[in-house]
Structure 1
Amino acid sequence: MSLASPVRQKSGLALFWAVTFTTSWAFWLVAILLGGPPTSSPTVIPYLLGGFGPVIGAIVLRVHRARRREPAPAHAVSSRPSARWFWTVPLLVLASATVVAAALLAEVLGGPALNLTTGRNLIATVGGPVPFLVSMLIGGPLAEEPGWRGTAYPRLRSSMTRLRAGLLLGVVWAGWHLPLFFIPGTLQAGFGLLSWSGLLFILNVIPMALLTGYAYDRGGVPASIAVHFGVNTTIALLTINSPVTQALVLVVQAVVGFGLLGRRSLVRPPVTD
């Protein structure tokens, strides 16, 4: 199989960044100007569409690549082999476990106790477990992972180690969320950008990028979707909004992420022409 050169991969990455950020931020700017909560019409429409910016960027890049008959990135992971799906469930459990472990540790250290009441109320509000799980799967994992991990990550890997690619993508991914702090009614707006919770939300995206990057290397986009889904769903069910617990989630996921990457991540990948 022929592989794209690093120069072409960087060109494709620039196109992906441009489409993703322009699409997401444009829709979210409309949501900000409308001023209503993201769960009510008409704000809900641009709010939801903005979340699909990474997928739109991925689609545009794939169409662009197909028209120019360019090969796949060297580090792209195929999701077709059934063996790769083996990683999906274990990584989902691991992702959820990092959040649970942080919440338990916070309780031991005198922080907020585990409380499922708010999570149960949230499930009831959206109509039950199935609608809740579907909404958690679509709003984030399915809307973002084909772009961040399926498109951007392999191109970053053309000239970076897994660790550097994961960290850089984590920083970009964190910055992508910034407009959400200005849409009334979002989780981010509830935190406030200039608060400890807001800052920790931004920082927490970075170790999560390491976990999803590792998952992509093991099982492709389905595995990265599973990790993203596991973290988001567990955070929602346990109502992780205390700075103490958020900080411990950051620490636990950073330790696990660096541990999974290991020393092999420090080896610079070969450049394939």
Structure 2
Amino acid sequence: MPSLAYAESRLGAAHPRMPLVIFWFYLTTCVAAALFGLVQPTLAIDPVIIQLNQFGPAVGVLAVLLAWRRWRLPLATGFGLSREVLIRLVVLVVLAGMIFAVFVGITELAGVSRRGILPGQLPYPFGLILAAQLIGACGEEFGWRCFLQPYLRARFGVLASGTLVGLLWGVWHVQVFSRGPMFTASFLAMAVALSIMLAVLQEQSRHGVLIIAGGFHMLVNIGMLLLTSDSDGDAVQLSLTAACVLTACGVLLVAARRGIALTQFVEGDRA
């Protein structure tokens, strides 16, 4: 198999071929995540606090940087907290709240036991878990949303690029495939819907992407930790969660396709 350096010389450093870049990013992301997963038990780090394999995608970006050193990667790494970014943060908080409020309502009406947990019942301070979950989510989203999403967006539309990233992101959680077809299908559907929502929220902005994506990711993880028993392989609960996420995704897409600005989405049309 030809080396990446050979491929670079044949294809040109300035514009490496997209399939090769995606393959190399995904391969190194998966390998790094697997290695992190092996290391975590030896470090005695409870996955309730943070899962080290979340930093696999960041390693994948580093691997792409090293493979094509003369290529300027399309990274969305701006950290400015502009008014636009703050509004998008409000939108994602509203969306996350809507997802889990609807989930609670559906489970109550259907009589489905959530077997959730209160923050005070967690084995560690809730503030520590929140901070660690945000760090882990940002480590993961640096690869998926700060690199892969804008990279694919340069060639594909918002919906197509968000779907592709969501599928790769979902399949990367390979452990879900051991929990049965219903659980797997629900998880993949949820991953794609979340990815599309993040693609819409980061559209036309290269600033604040990491905090937007990482914050939304953290809120979803915390919501599932507190309200669901997804770690127990409960396919019914996950399918209901996925349905709520798909509904929220549909609401956001309708708003975006009608040309409603994010400011109007939050504040309403004051005209």
TM-score by length of 1: 0.71
Counterpart in 2 of 1:234?
223
One-letter amino acid of the counterpart of residue 53, structure 1? G
Alpha-carbon distance in structure 2 between the residues aligned to 1:263 and 1:25: 42
2:248 matches 1:253 = yes
Q: Provide closer, same or farther for how the CA distance between residues 240 and 22 of structure 1 changes in structure 2, counting only shifts above 3 A.
A: same
| Deviation, structure 1 residue 24 | 1.7
Q: Which residue of 1 is the match for residue 165 of structure 2?
A: 169
Aligned residues: 235
TM-aligned CA distance change 1:17 to 1:49, over 3 Å: same
Distance 1:77 1:49, change over 3 A: closer
1:155–1:247 distance in 2 versus 1, CA, 3 Å: closer
Give me the whole-angstrom Cα distance separating, in 1, the residues matched to 2:255 and 2:66.
34
Q: Which residue of 1 aligns with 2:263?
A: none
Compare relative contact order (CA 8 Å, sep 6+) and give the higher one, 1 or 2: 1
**1:91 and 1:223 in contact (8 A); partners too:** no
CA-CA distance at 1:86 after TM superposition: 1.7
- Identity level (%): 21
CA deviation vs aligned residue, 1:77-110 (integer Å, no higher than 9, x gap): 4524331542453134124223223313413642
Aligned-residue RMSD, C-alpha? 3.3
Q: How big is the shift at 1:175?
A: 0.5
Match of 1:150 among 146, 151, 157: 146
What is the one-letter code of the residue matched to 2:89? V
Deviation digits for residues 225-253 of structure 1, max 9, x if unmatched? 11111211122222254245324324323
TM-superposed CA distance for 1:54, in Å, is 0.2
* 1:41 Cα deviation from its structure 2 partner: 3.9
Contact kept, 8 Å, 1:106 with 1:248, in 2: the verdict is no
1:129 maps to 2:118 = no
Shift of 1:260: 4.9
Aligned to 1:186: none
In structure 2, distance between residues paired with 1:162 and 1:82: 23
Listed as ranges, the gaps of 5+ residues in structure 2 are 1-12, 231-236, 260-271
Cα distance, 1:151 vs structure 2: 1.0
Partner of 2:57: 54
CA deviations 1:13-51 (Å, max 9, x no partner) are 3321221122223544x47xxxxxx7x546759994432
Task: Report how far residue 215 of structure 1 moved.
Answer: 2.8
Give the superposition deviation at 1:60. 2.4
Are the aligned partners of 2:99 and 2:245 in contact in 1 as well (CA < 8 Å)? no
Q: Aligned partner of 1:156: which letter?
A: L
Number of the residue aligned with 2:234: none
Q: What's the counterpart of residue 206 of structure 1? A: 192
In structure 2, do the counterparts of structure 1 residues 16 and 120 end up closer, same or farther at CA, with 3 Å as the change threshold?
A: same
Aligned-partner Cα distance in 2 for 1:50–1:77: 22
* Partner AA of 1:104 in structure 2: V
